[in-house]
């Protein structure tokens, strides 16, 4: 009796997992017209640690195609691009850039970016103290 219940439960879980794969997320990267224009050292750090969520140059690894992970990651990218999108940086006016620099400084100083969950899957995105200093100097600290 218990084996039968477990079998049906496993089958139901498998069917549910397969069914949620039908709800796909938007993984598009709009064209990049221009870039931040930061020094090369800053650009390298931003590309490695920030661009996956904060630009139109997101790399979508295999696990971003598997629900429910795909939903979670696409939501992070959508919010990341909404908060700060380096692909749209040149369109910012002076006030928007100053606000972005302030946010960058705060996030780095609080060690909130890149997100800890992102750093787990992307160890290359972890910032050294020296890299944080480079970004802080660039952001005007």
Res. 1: pLDDT tops 70: yes
pLDDT in tens, 63-112: 889 899 889 899 999 999 999 999 988 777 888 888 889 999 999 999 99
What's the length of the chain?
141
Extents of the domains making up the chain? 26-138
Segment 21-42 mean pLDDT? 84
CA 52 – CA 125 distance, rounded (Å): 10
- Comparing CA positions, the residue from 122, 111, 109, 135 lying closest to residue 41 is 135
Res. 44: pLDDT tops 80: yes
C-alpha distances in Å from residue 28, one per residue of 24, 83, 130:
12, 18, 33
Q: According to the model, what pLDDT value does residue 101 have? A: 92
Question: Long-range contacts of range 96-101, CB-CB < 8 Å, 24 or more positions apart?
Answer: 101/139, 101/140
Q: According to the model, what pLDDT value does residue 127 have? A: 95
């Amino acid at each position: 009796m218990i084996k039968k219940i477990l079998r049906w439960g496993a089958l139901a879980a498998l069917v549910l997992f397969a069914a949620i794969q039908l709800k796909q997320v938007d993984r598009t990267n709009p064209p990049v017209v221009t870039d931040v224009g930061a020094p090369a050292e800053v650009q390298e750090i931003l590309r490695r640690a920030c661009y996956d969520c904060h630009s139109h140059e997101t790399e979508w690894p295999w696990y971003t195609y598997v629900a429910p992970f795909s939903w979670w990651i696409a939501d992070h990218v959508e919010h990341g691009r909404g908060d700060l999108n380096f692909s749209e940086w040149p369109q910012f006016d002076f006030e928007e850039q100053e606000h972005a620099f302030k946010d960058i400084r705060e996030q780095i100083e609080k060690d909130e970016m890149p997100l800890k969950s992102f750093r787990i899957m992307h160890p290359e995105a972890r910032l050294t103290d020296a890299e944080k200093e480079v970004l802080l100097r660039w952001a005007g600290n």
